[in-house]
Amino acid sequence: QQQVKQSPQSLIVQKGGISIINCAYENTAFDYFPWYQQFPGKGPALLIAIRPDVSEKKEGRFTISFNKSAKQFSLHIMDSQPGDSATYFCAASKYGGSQGNLIFGKGTKLSVKP
Amino acid sequence: GAGVSQSPRYKVAKRGQDVALRCDPISGHVSLFWYQQALGQGPEFLTYFQNEAQLDKSGLPSDRFFAERPEGSVSTLKIQRTQQEDSAVYLCASSPTGDGSQPQHFGDGTRLSIL
């Protein structure tokens, strides 16, 4: 059973537009939700993360919206740029404790057209 | 070094051979994770170390997979009698603490191809 479901699988956006990627999770024990950006041939790089005690977190052009009751969270990229073209992964884990291994979604390939 | 370093970057092996993949975490990082990323998929957890102790190996797909971190720093992931389904990118990540409260920093991975 896939614990973190991500959509869409791919996304094409015009330069300057808003990119929106959605994720839903199953396990209510998850309490840490990061988004990672991955370029071809590179490892995932942390973009922004949220904990469920807030409903929104913004860092520059990147915003996470979190809906605890619906068990959903989303990434919004404002003023999308061609340099944002990459694969984006949502993830979830249990914050604290002795583990913290991340459960990833399957990824969204974003293409920003100039 | 400034980041997580993995070697080799690429490894080609024939089916049935043993391979060893190395991870140098960020200096001083307590936690070390191994993930497997199949083509077009998200990374999947393999195993977790806190210092030299392997606290979770629940993600290792078979007993052909073995990981160690004997001195609490460098880690090696070994795959014995490789199979074609082992072809993937193997990612290592480290984190400064052992309580899951800090972000994981990933290396660029080792791309393993089994012929």
Q: Kindly identify which residue of chain A lies nearest to residue B9, measuring between CA atoms.
A: A41
By the 8 A CB rule, do B50 and B98 touch?
yes
The pLDDT of A78-107, averaged and rounded, is 88
Q: What are the tens digits of pLDDT across the range B21-75?
A: 999 999 999 999 999 999 999 999 999 999 999 999 999 999 999 999 999 999 9
Residues 6+ apart with CB under 8 A from B39: B88
By the 8 A CB rule, do A48 and A77 touch?
no
* A96 vs B: CB within 8 A: yes
Half-sphere exposure (CA, 13 Å, Cβ side) for B9?
4
Residue B85 main-chain phi, psi, to 5 deg: -70, -10
* A113 vs B: CB within 8 A: no
* A99 vs B: CB within 8 A: yes
Whether A46 sits inside 8 A of B105 (CB atoms) is: yes
Q: What are the tens digits of pLDDT across the range A31-76?
A: 899 999 999 999 999 999 998 889 999 999 999 999 999 999 999 9
